[in-house]
Structure 1
């Protein structure tokens, strides 16, 4: 199973991972150069927080072994694929209770800004295949994908 791993000490807060995520999930085709960073429909599934000590914390879904988000989801909208390890979200099943948001130990999941009726969550860029955009675009290699044993 694959996991996104993070080395906080390498992160310089450039936010390339955030812009890459927005680019990967934008509704209208285009390049990162014409990406509207203020358009809530291009909302990122990760973010960078200041650690209060002059450093940065990449807040990115880990697709946990025992995902609290999926275990607390009463509607079954969140589920973990036992073969890939990816925790996926089915918007059609979501009841907008946001128990997943409250129970994520990393503070990754959030209600969408536009409607506040669905959850914004990393999908590991499964539609594009291969490595997630955030990982591919981290110049410091502070985030990477690693194969782990279940």
Structure 2
């Protein structure tokens, strides 16, 4: 099983991970050069928070071993995949109660900006290649993928 790890000390706030995530999940096709950063349909599944001390903290889904989001999901829209260890989201099952958003201890999950009817969360770029786009785009190595024991 692979997981995304963060070394916040290496994050310089460039937001390449943010833009790469938007590009990987955009609804239309095109290059990163014509990506509309203001279009809510291209919403990123991660974010970078700048602290009062000027340091940056990448906020990403940790695909927890005991995910509070899954345990609080009443509709079964969130499930922990036993094989991959990832927390997966099924939009068609979501009841839009946002208990998962309220129970995520890391503040990662959020309601989508445009409709406020579904949850936006990391899907590990399962449909976009072997490694998540955010990790591929990180120039400092602050975001990386590592194998973990299941």
Q: Provide the C-alpha distance between the structure 2 equivalents of 1:12 and 1:85, rounded to a whole number of angstroms.
A: 29
Unaligned runs of 5+ in 2: none
Unaligned runs of 5+ in 1: none
1:1-150 to structure 2, matched below 5 A, reads 1-150=1-150
TM-score (norm 1): 0.98
Q: Aligned residue pairs: how many?
A: 150
Q: Provide the C-alpha distance between the structure 2 equivalents of 1:86 and 1:33, rounded to a whole number of angstroms.
A: 30
Q: Provide the C-alpha distance between the structure 2 equivalents of 1:29 and 1:113, rounded to a whole number of angstroms.
A: 21
- 1:44-82, Cα deviation, whole Å (9 max, x unpaired): 000000122110000011111111111110100000101
TM-score (norm 2): 0.98
Q: Provide the C-alpha distance between the structure 2 equivalents of 1:27 and 1:48, rounded to a whole number of angstroms.
A: 23
Return the offset for 1:129: 2.5
Stretches (4+) displaced over 6 A: none
Q: CA RMSD in A?
A: 0.6
Q: Provide the C-alpha distance between the structure 1 equivalents of 2:24 and 2:31, rounded to a whole number of angstroms.
A: 10
